[in-house]
Amino acid sequence: MASSPFLSSSTPPTSTVPNSSTIIQTSFFPKTTQLSINKKLRKPYHSAPNKVAVSCKATNNGNQQNPTPSKKNAESALNRFDRRDVLIGLGGLYGATNLAGGDPFALAAPIEAPDLTLCGEATVTDTYHVYCCPPTSEKIIDFTPPSFKKLRFRPAAHLVTDDYLVKFKTALQKMKDLPDDDPRSFKSQAEVHCAYCNGAYDQVGFPDQNLQVHFSWLFQPFHRFYLYFYERILGTLIDDPEFAIPFWNWDTPDGMPIPAIYNDPSSPLYDSKRNVAHLPPVPADLDFNGTDRGLTAEEQIQSNLKSMYRQMVSNSKTASLFHGEAYRAGDAPSPGMGSIENIPHTPIHRWVGDPREDNGEDMGNFYSAGRDPLFYAHHGNVDRMWALWKQLPGKKRTDFTDTDWLDSSFVFYDENKNLIRCKVRDCLETKTLGYAYQPVDIPWLKSKPNPRKYKKKKGSRGVAKAAGIKSDVIKSVFPIVLNKIVRVEVPRPRTKRSKYEKEDEEEVLVIQNIKFKNDEAVKFDVYINDEDDETPTGPQDSEFAGSFSSVPHRQKSSAEITTGLKLGLTDLLEDLDVEGDDSIIVTLVPRTGKVTIGGLKIDFVSS
């Protein structure tokens, strides 16, 4: 381990003996029930765009998310009744109970589209606030899927024709030429992201909870609708209903650099606020740690393909692993990211953002990301991953059927400047929205990380002994501040599962109560049973379970974010040939920023 170029700058691991009883913490991922409801209605705290009151009230989300087990059930029932009152009061009750779920207290609680009249300033840092609210509208129209004659095909950005490029540039220039206050203008489109991501909206009925479309199951649907309207506006501006935006095909070797069409300073596709060390032909680092890893282009490509395999195949076997954790009305924001949002979506934002700028503008901060035309191509590929994910084999690779997800809604301005309310249920298939992706090769499907030769000592009881790293494993009393490499032994509740059990439930490592300041970038990596030997490990090896990665996006409701992470273990444990072991050694390696970890445990997820 010490010889790894990735690890050499870190402090050596603490040396003590594991105490597994300290490892299992209370279940972290919040249920619908762990709510704090404040019924006072929010008053708009600004009246004009140029008069912004600087106010940063902090609530401690972490306390709400992690009640003690003894109190949890009682509080749950109570909060559900409270919430029902609130929802009835708002006319937002979709159904009193969800008997199918077997829980008589369960109530429908989709996140509602924000009330634009209550949009407030967005927060970038403690001292830097911006106003990015859209105009309000008297009328809100419910979304109906478009009728169309031909599907629009979104092309890979590195493969577009000259004719296409002329059209795209014309459309984008027209969008940039619209007056700033036109909701279809490029400036307004960029601000859509700022408002939904940096705390400009509260949840309807829950003035103490910001609305946040990242770090949860809202991530994919929100961005799909966002791109849909962006595309329709561009098509309308050039009077071409078949116009489709390009996608940055970063999951294939030729597509990994920033597409050349975005790198021409005379083009409307250009943005000067990008990392100048990362211009084409440098391939993107899908595991970007905040500093360059010094890989050759070929090493980078191979590392990227392995990461894609891990995130799309091994780490996304169920809806919650792919999409992220449930986030319902009244919940604290940011319960947990899905696989693709985490990696490579987040590292690519940071890899493109300009380190010369104060806040990583444009791509490196959510408030400004939409100002870079490349953002929409990046998200085109993120969206394409959703479409691909559903086509991969595996019986649990289907979207949620939970109505709280399906009925969650957003509002966007369309190509006719109408304000449209869209529900998640209307965006599940790209074809319903009239588009599809140009079919291209998917090279990562064959890029399973390499199993290393793992030599297990006969007769040893646990992995710690077998791996010869027992003395490295910390006796950890969580929470721990991750300021050096830590190794923790985590017991496995079940071993030697059958093929059927594995298909039905994915074994996951749950990293609980990850806390950090949300205006700072954060990344840490997770390895399983990583041995102390000559070969350095990285994303290319089986031991690499995944990473946690965050784009700065301050919210006013809390300066600190509390979230969780689940990483799929089934494939990885098979590759390491340790399915019979009663524990694993988890190595946490800090990369960027200051993080606290609340606990580790192994769980099984089926949806």
Active site residues: 193, 214, 223, 345, 349, 366, 379
Q: Is 129 annotated as a binding residue?
A: no
Q: Give the position of tokens 């109190």.
A: 71
CB-based contacts of 356, cutoff 8 Å, min separation 6: none
Min separation Cβ 539 and ligand C2O, Å: 20
Q: Confirm or reject binding of residue 274 to ligand C2O (CB under 6 A).
A: no
Q: Confirm or reject binding of residue 197 to ligand C2O (CB under 6 A).
A: yes
Q: Confirm or reject binding of residue 154 to ligand C2O (CB under 6 A).
A: no
The residue count for binding ligand C2O (CB under 6 A) is: 9
Give the residue with the Cβ less far from ligand C2O, 83 or 193. Answer: 193
> Where in 295-334 is the site for ligand C2O (CB under 6 A)?
none
**CA–CA separation, 569 vs 597, rounded Å?**
19
> Where in 15-74 is the site for ligand C2O (CB under 6 A)?
none
Write the binding mask 203 to 222 for ligand C2O: x where contact by CB under 6 A, - elsewhere.
-----------x--------
Q: Is 223 annotated as a binding residue?
A: yes
Q: Confirm or reject binding of residue 345 to ligand C2O (CB under 6 A).
A: yes
Give the residue with the Cβ less far from ligand C2O, 30 or 347. Answer: 347
Q: Give the position of tokens 């408002």.
A: 195
Q: Is 379 annotated as a binding residue?
A: yes
- Would you say 271 and 402 are in contact if contact means Cβ atoms under 8 Å apart? no
Min separation Cβ 243 and ligand C2O, Å: 22
**CA–CA separation, 454 vs 448, rounded Å?**
17
- Would you say 518 and 562 are in contact if contact means Cβ atoms under 8 Å apart? no
Q: Confirm or reject binding of residue 350 to ligand C2O (CB under 6 A).
A: no
Give the residue with the Cβ less far from ligand C2O, 7 or 133. Answer: 133
Give the residue with the Cβ less far from ligand C2O, 232 or 345. Answer: 345
Write the binding mask 371 to 400 for ligand C2O: x where contact by CB under 6 A, - elsewhere.
--------x---------------------
Amino acid at 321: L
Give the residue with the Cβ less far from ligand C2O, 199 or 538. Answer: 199
Min separation Cβ 156 and ligand C2O, Å: 19
CB-based contacts of 154, cutoff 8 Å, min separation 6: 244, 245, 246, 247, 380, 384, 435, 436, 437, 438
**CA–CA separation, 509 vs 526, rounded Å?**
10
Min separation Cβ 440 and ligand C2O, Å: 21
Which residue among 184, 349, 515, 556 contacts ligand C2O (CB under 6 A)?
349
Min separation Cβ 214 and ligand C2O, Å: 6
First-to-last alpha carbon distance for the chain, in angstroms, is 35
> Where in 219-248 is the site for ligand C2O (CB under 6 A)?
223
Min separation Cβ 506 and ligand C2O, Å: 25
Joined together, the tokens standing for residue 309 give 């395999």
Give the residue with the Cβ less far from ligand C2O, 284 or 466. Answer: 284
Of 592, 600, 586, 603, the C-alpha closest to 546 is 586
Q: Is 214 annotated as a binding residue?
A: yes
CA atoms within 13 A on the CB side of 515: 19
**CA–CA separation, 203 vs 113, rounded Å?**
8
Q: Is 323 annotated as a binding residue?
A: no
Q: Where are the alpha helices (DSSP H) in 338-492?
A: 339-340, 346-352, 366-369, 374-389, 403-406, 463-467
Give the residue with the Cβ less far from ligand C2O, 312 or 576. Answer: 312
Which residue among 193, 487, 554, 556 contacts ligand C2O (CB under 6 A)?
193
**CA–CA separation, 537 vs 6, rounded Å?**
8
Give the phi and the psi of residue 88 in degrees, each rounded to 5: -65, -45
Q: What is the 3-state secondary structure (H, E, C) of 456-500?
A: CCCCCCCHHHHHCCHHHCCCCCCCEECCCCEEEEEECCCCCCCHH
Note the residues at the interface with ligand C2O (CB under 6 A). Answer: 193, 197, 214, 223, 345, 349, 366, 369, 379
Please report, in range form, the residues annotated as the binding site for Cu cation.
Answer: 193, 214, 223, 345, 349, 379
